[in-house]
A and B are shown apart, each in its own frame.
Chain A
């Protein structure tokens, strides 16, 4: 036994996840090792966020089965473990999609997460880029067995830029880590315990830190959404475009969500795991000025259309380039312009108001003013 302990640990640990072997540095979590492999092998994560210290271990969606603990001790772990909080050992064998137990447990976790979730996706601005939707679609069951009233909260106003919908929250704590680690005066945290726990700013203090907007990006559900984008459009009708500007407080690299040339929303760029992209090892958080106040295309240097997974609904009905296709009717008609071409805007009511210029959601008053 003593000899074994003295033996030096190898520089890299070999870990096998779903029969794929990968070498990672000691101290890497199973989840990060699986992300190194990528693809279907990676367990989903709702609360773990690699750019936020201490996150993870709350939602239990990343549960995996450890079939062999290590080369030194190849006994399997009796229970499923949270892969975001369990570090790899040399010779560890992990089962994720190859384990029926994991799939079954994950379906149960999804059911639990959805117990109090209002499922108001048709209204929710997060729909289309929501991790909860993806999780429910991939791992969830069709129905719920919950028969009681879902918990509700009084709507709380937490400032002019961020909309809090506490009913949608799954208590992943990511936003409180953002408040803790990115902003200096934390005014935002979790009140009460257990079933009554809720995200709130203490004594309804407005969140006015310069990086508070990143809570919107880290929120895996639609609990924290951009108030300046509220109800303006659906995510899949907007066109994501990579852009940058010189910003003194942040990296200035963002994704603009455009409709025509109007910028409806600005977010940080996301990587393949739905997290904020890193540049030179530093996470690309963006400041509130970039996010909420630069809503003109002229404020930005546009780089090109963002790369969106073609299986995502956001990729629907999009042109690949940024240049509008040219009108060819006159060309094929030998130079004659069509005599009876209907301009849809001469009759359509849509786009009568510049929605992108509004500070908040449109209401009936927005359209009344126009008609007078």
Chain B
């Protein structure tokens, strides 16, 4: 005896009824037709969109605090955590009078993510000590050129909650509940 599932092959010659394959065709068509009445697995994409899972890791967003100041202090932990080396930044010192723009005395003057390199692993979000970067529930839109995939700080920053509360909350998405 081999395994429990071993079946001996039936090598007897087919009878006439078996050789016209009628029953097998009916059986197969039954499966095909039954699928017409089942729920479709596909959706009409541009009009319809699927909801992402709560843990979906999409396009990055640079967060602001409730007063609209940028959280990022250019500490570089996201960039050092990034396995694809997609993140680059340049830091600058906050000048007197810029306190309403940046939360800490140092901020990211330049912040770029190369979406061609990014693998959306979310390690940057985990590394961030300032709750400044997170992966949202959208993905990077298609583009004809590669240059369009270098996302700069303007592209990544969340709308200001003071001036544009609605857009801010929309961009924040499910993350609002988490924080």
Contacts and interface: CB of A to CB of B under 8 A. Distances in A.
Interface of A: 120-123, 127, 230-234, 236-237, 313, 316-317, 340, 342, 344, 346-353, 355, 360-367
A350 B110 contact: yes
A362 B85 contact: no
A361 B150 contact: no
Given A362-B92, A367-B109, 8 more contacts: A123-B106, A231-B93, A342-B146, A361-B93, A363-B92, A363-B93, A363-B95, A364-B98
A348 B150 CA distance: 7
A342 B150 CA distance: 11
Interface of B: 73-77, 79-80, 85, 88-95, 98, 104-106, 109-110, 112, 114, 129-130, 146-147, 150, 152
A123 B150 contact: no
A340 B146 CA distance: 10
Contacts of A120: 104
A349 B110 contact: yes
Given A127-B75, A367-B109, A362 B91 contact: yes
A349 B130 contact: no
Contacts of A362: 90-93, 109
Nearest to A125: B106
B80 A317 contact: yes
A120 B73 CA distance: 10
Contacts of A367: 92, 109-110
Residue of B88, B106, B130 with highest tally of chain A CB at under 10 A:
B106
Nearest to A234: B76
Contacts of B150: 344, 347-348
Contacts of B98: 364
Contacts of A348: 88, 112, 150
A347 to B, nearest CB: 5
A237 B92 contact: no
Nearest to A155: B105
Contacts of A316: 80
Contacts of B114: 344
A122 B112 contact: no
B80 A122 contact: no
Contacts of B152: 349
Contacts of B146: 340, 342
A6 B85 CA distance: 69
7 contacts: A123-B104, A234-B76, A236-B80, A317-B80, A342-B146, A352-B110, A363-B95
Nearest to A342: B146
Nearest to B98: A364
Given A123-B73, A355-B90, A347 B147 contact: yes
Contacts of B85: 317
Contact of B112 (A236, A346, A349): A349
A350 B90 contact: yes
A122 B109 contact: no
Residue of A121, A122, A317, A353 with highest tally of chain B CB at under 10 A:
A122
A325 to B, nearest CB: 15
Given A123-B105, A344-B150, A348-B112, A364 B92 contact: yes
A313 B80 contact: yes
Contacts of B110: 349-350, 352, 367
Closest 8 A/B residue pairs (Cβ)? A122-B75, A234-B76, A361-B93, A362-B92, A231-B91, A347-B147, A123-B106, A342-B146
Contact of B91 (A127, A232, A347): A232
A365 B92 CA distance: 10
A366 B92 contact: yes
Nearest to A123: B106
Contacts of A121: 75, 129
A123 B79 contact: no
Contacts of A234: 75-76, 79-80
B117 to A, nearest CB: 10
B93 to A, nearest CB: 4
Contacts of B129: 121-122
B76 A237 contact: yes
A348 B79 CA distance: 16
Contacts of A365: 95
Contacts of A366: 92, 109
Contacts of B94: 363
A73 B105 CA distance: 57
Contacts of A317: 80, 85
Nearest to A362: B92
Nearest to B90: A350
A174 B43 CA distance: 68
B90 to A, nearest CB: 5
A85 B79 CA distance: 42
A230 B147 CA distance: 31
A8 to B, nearest CB: 57
